[in-house]
Amino acid sequence: MQVYTTDTTSVHSARIKVGIADYAAATDGNTLTTSGLGSCIGVALHDPEAGISGLAHAMLPESDGDGDPAKFADTGIESLLTEMRTAGADTSRIVAKLAGGSAMFDFASTDGGKSIGERNVDTARKTLEKHGIDIVAEDVGGSHGRSLELDGETGNLRVRSAKTGDQTL
């Protein structure tokens, strides 16, 4: 079974592509992928017992209640968790991995001098903590882009970057 949440998600031979301001959940071991993470935050979630995985690609930290929930780290994570629970995941077993949140531009926001990337990471951490979800690995910050592949069977997150190479979280 596959669960899709927006129109931009597409499936190609056991791969689910997650676009920018998008998320998807899968229960069949498919690989979830996303690219173009700069200041955006990628949130990979996995319930190993249920075999359910999810991936969110959020652009901005917090929703003001208007617009697509997937665009924001707080509401995107909330929506992805809802999809995963509907598919049979148990929040108490879900673990998280984060990637992205780079400072891609040489200026800071008016929010305490933090960049959008830093604010995305902070919001993702707070939202996951609110749900009691442990972050077991992360590759965040820096000034480089990333692409992600989440193995739906193992929960391994492959992070690719032209600047820092490949690593598996």
CB of 115 closer than 8 Å to CB of 108: yes
Q: Partners of 95 in the beta sheet? A: 46, 134
Q: Quick check: 97 and 50 in contact, CB under 8 A?
A: no
40 flagged as catalytic: yes
Contact 114, 121 (CB under 8 A): no
Quick one: which H or E segment has residue 86? helix 73-86
Contact indicator for 96, 134 with CB cutoff of 8 Å:
yes
Element (H, E) at 32: strand 31-37
Residues 6 or more apart whose CB falls under 8 angstroms from that of 145 comprise 36, 37, 38, 102, 104, 161, 162, 163
40, 43, 103, 128: which is the annotated catalytic residue?
40
Q: Residue 98: name the closest of 82, 121, 75 by CA.
A: 121
Active site residues: 40
